[in-house]
Every structure is written in C-alpha cells, then in structure tokens.
Amino acid sequence: MTVLKKAVLTLGCIFAFFTYGVQAQQRVIADKIVAVIGNSAVLYSEVQTMADQLQAQYREQGFTPERDLENEALEKLMLQKLLYNQALLDSVVVNETAIATAVEEQVNKLIEQEGSIAALEKKQHKQIYEIRDDIYNSYLEGQYAQVLQYQFMDEVKITPGEVDSYYRNISKDELPIIPEQYIYAQITKFPSSMQDAKQRTRERLLEMRERVIGGTAFETLARMYSVDTNSAMQGGDIGYMTLDALVPTYSDAIRNMQVGQISGVVETEYGFHIIKLTDKKGDQYRTSHILIRPSYTTDEINADLRSLDSLATVIRADSISFAAAALQHSDDKYSRQNEGIVTNHEMLEYYGASDASYSSTKWMKEDLGADYDALRLLKVGDISPAFRSQDLHGNVLCKIVKLVEVIPSHTGSLANDYLSIEQAALQDKQQKEFQKWVNEKIESMYVKINADFTDLNQFENKTWLK
C-alpha cells in the first residue's frame, strides 16, 4: 500500500496456505467434515481443492511426491485452521480491503474462464454471491493465518553467538549457496523539469477535487486515475488505519479532518494525493485517496539522459573520477557520500529496519531491477549509458552505473557472507520455534480428525494424532 510506513505482505504470500484455485469445485461431491480444529471444520471439498493445487504445483516443478496428496492437503489445512482460530483469540488485524480486491480479481477470473456468470453458477452449482462468499471466507481465513505466522516469526531474534554455533554445527553440504552478486556504483538525477511536473500534478489533482465537490464520485475518479493499483479498484479505499501506520504527511492531513471531507493536495514520498476521510472509529481512520505521480515528456527525459551521458563521457576520459562525480552531481543521498557505491541503506529504511549490521553493498540480480539490465552488459570498471529508472517509491529518475565487482556463486562462509549465514540461521531457529509453538497449540486446542485420514505414516507432524 503506497501510504503505509512499512511494507505489508503481498497477497501471494498471505494466501500461501490456501487459495481458492481456478479449478476449485470442479466436481460435485457429497461434502463431509474431515477434521475439526478449534471452532473450524475442514471439509472434504477443501481437501480435494488443496490436493488439486498441490498436484498442479508439483507437476510444474517436475516433482513427484511420495506422500498422499489428500493427506498432505489435510495437514496444511489443519495448520491454517489452527492459526486462524489463534489469530481470532489474539485479535490479529487483517487488511480486509486487500482481501476484497483479491476476491473480485478471482471472481472475475473464474467468470472469464467459464464465459459468463450463468456458466460459472451452473458449473459450481451455486449462485454467484455464494461463490464470492466462499472465496472471501477462504481468503480471509488465509490472511489471518499468514499474518499471525508472520508476526510470530518477526518476534524470533538471533544472537551472533547463535549464528556462530549454527555455522560450526551445520554440515558443509547444508550451507547456503550464495548466487552471483554485484557491487556497483551509480549517479542518479531526478528530472530537471521536476518542479514543473510537480506543479502540473498539483493542478491536475486540484481539478479532480473540484469535480468531486461539484458532484463527481470520488470513487469513480480513483478507479480512473489513481496510480495506486491496490486501492484504485476499491475506489481508492485503503481501509482502517491508525495514524502511526501511515506516512507522516498523509496522517497529518487526515488528523483533524471531518468524515466526508476532502483534503487539499498532499505530497508524500510516493507522489501527490487528495484524500477523503470516509469513517473514523476511535484511533482507526478509514480513508480513500487518489495518488498521482509527476509525469514527464519524452523530450524532458531525453534531455536528462543526454546530460548524464555527457558526464559519463567525461568520467571515461579520466577528467573526473566516478566517486568525485557522484559526490558533485548525484541526487542519491545514500550513495553519493560513498563514492557512488550502492548500499541497501535506502531499502532498510524503507522497510523500517535500522540495524546497521544488515548493511551491505552486495546485490543479487533479482534484487537489482532495471539496474541489472544495465550491469549485465558491462565488464568490471565499465560505465553504462544513461537510462531511465525509478526509486523505491516509484518516482522517475535517470542514472548511470559502474560495475565495480562481480562475486561468483559460492558456498557461504561466515567470514564473507555473514548476513546470508545469519539469515539461514534465523530461518532455522524460526522454523524450530514455530513448530514448537504449533505443537503447544495443538495440545491445548480441540482437534478431531476423521479416522480415514489418520495414517501415522503420512502425517509429518505426529502431534496432530494426540
């Protein structure tokens, strides 16, 4: 969500345990309860749907499972039900707006696949509202489960001593393989016409605000023009949020607004907004917004690219070092003081991490985005032509990059890859702590499993068979 302070889980991650697949309910069955976990029942139809998804996933991976898929599906679903029940007890908060968006996307996909609503209803032997409710409930349950697991994992910390112990006790074959990494430097420039572009954006939003005041639905304009794709489909609605969960200028703008009021133009690091306060409950504010970012003409961008290309030519001619040029000309506050070397400081700040021990200058290609397209064409020491890019907030900029070093793929070592070893050790500890916690919850929660599904040789976690 582009006004949140910290990153939120993506829907693909949220629904890792269970999604209402396109192939769901393709056959009519006499449904029955397979297991009861707390106050939740696992239906045979759910088990079949999950088994179908696992089969499709394994086929795509070229993997042949040895385990019965229905039994595996049941165990995954039981874990989800357990987490869901515990999440309700712990008063976990989920983003229902994001769920609603995902549900509509899934419903539309199903309708498109079958050709019409009537065809979908006939195939699934349900009315469209029942299909939508089934999908919503599945997604809601999945999000509760995933958020609870995420919160648990986030509370598990690891000490340097534990990292060292993990490294000393793990076999070499189990050490992580570190993919090829890149160390590089950059010089970035925001468009020279940025102030003019910002003014154009303000004027555009002021015009939209006048249209809303004149009677045009805020939601209609959000769907048509907002670049926040997550909320645009919901008419700009981002759901209920506390002020401290939002970026400061956004929260400052809504702090004293009345329900139904439309803000003036608000600038954040993500762009420019107009905001509608739709409801308020205690310290929870429900808002909708229209987000627009400054845009630039091709001529404006090309002028800045030519300017950076000229600077690159001067550097290649040794008239100035890349480090000195970065200090004098780069707009990137994180790298210009560091000879242009790109670190993950901005990313750590973006995700709310302040621990300096996580600082690194080594990048894997999947984390480089558009920069990788430029770097992969360079030899060590080469400087790229200027290219268009964007920052973490989606703002347009231009840059040149210099390839400093390529570190080949290798087995991780504590001396050279501490962060990677630490991450592996943390994940190992998280998994063990989580499994211990799950087992305690199984012991304390009501669990009843149909005898047809209690094969001791199939369940990975035997605690379920208490």
Residues of the chain with CATH 3.10.50.40: 178-191+296-411, 194-292
The CATH-assigned architecture of domain 194-292 is: Roll (3.10)
More confident residue, 382 or 359: 382
d(CA 318, CA 394): 33
The rounded Cα 310 to chain-centroid distance in angstroms is: 38
Give the pTM. Answer: 0.70
d(CA 166, CA 142): 32
262-291 pLDDT tens trace: 999 999 999 999 999 999 988 889 999 999
d(CA 432, CA 96): 30
Angle at 341 (CA atoms; ends 338, 345), nearest 5 degrees? 80
pLDDT at 16: 40
Q: Residue 252 above 70 pLDDT?
A: yes
123-155 pLDDT tens trace: 988 999 999 998 999 899 999 999 999 999 999
Name the one residue in this structure whose structure tokens are 């349950």: 141
Instruction: Tell me the pLDDT band of 26, cut-offs 50, 70 and 90.
Output: very low
CATH assignment of 11-157+429-465, among 1.10.4030, 2.50.20, 3.30.200, 2.30.30: 1.10.4030
Instruction: Tell me the pLDDT band of 10, cut-offs 50, 70 and 90.
Output: very low
pLDDT at 222: 96
**Nearest to 35, CA basis, from 449, 376, 457, 342:** 449
Q: How far apart are the two ends of the chain, measured CA to CA in Å?
A: 42
**Nearest to 438, CA basis, from 145, 96, 44, 103:** 145
Name the one residue in this structure whose structure tokens are 């305690």: 440
pLDDT at 233: 85
Q: Is the dihedral of CA 339, 344, 350, 355 positive or negative?
A: negative
202-233 pLDDT tens trace: 999 999 999 999 999 999 999 999 999 888 98
pLDDT at 27: 42
Residues of the chain with CATH 1.10.4030: 11-157+429-465
Count of other CB atoms within 10 angstroms of residue 200: 15
Per residue in 201-238, is it b (16+ CB within 10 Å) or e — as a string? bbebbeebbeebeeeeebbebbbeebebebbbbbbbbb
Q: What is the mean pLDDT of residues 298-313?
A: 96
Instruction: Tell me the pLDDT band of 30, cut-offs 50, 70 and 90.
Output: low
168-180 pLDDT tens trace: 999 988 998 999 9
Structure tokens at 319: 């008239």
The CATH-assigned architecture of domain 178-191+296-411 is: Roll (3.10)
pLDDT at 290: 97
Count of other CB atoms within 10 angstroms of residue 177: 9
> What are the phi and psi torsion angles at 360 (to 5°)?
-155, 155
According to DSSP, residue 451 is labeled G
The rounded Cα 126 to chain-centroid distance in angstroms is: 33
The rounded Cα 301 to chain-centroid distance in angstroms is: 29
Instruction: Tell me the pLDDT band of 94, cut-offs 50, 70 and 90.
Output: confident
pLDDT at 323: 97
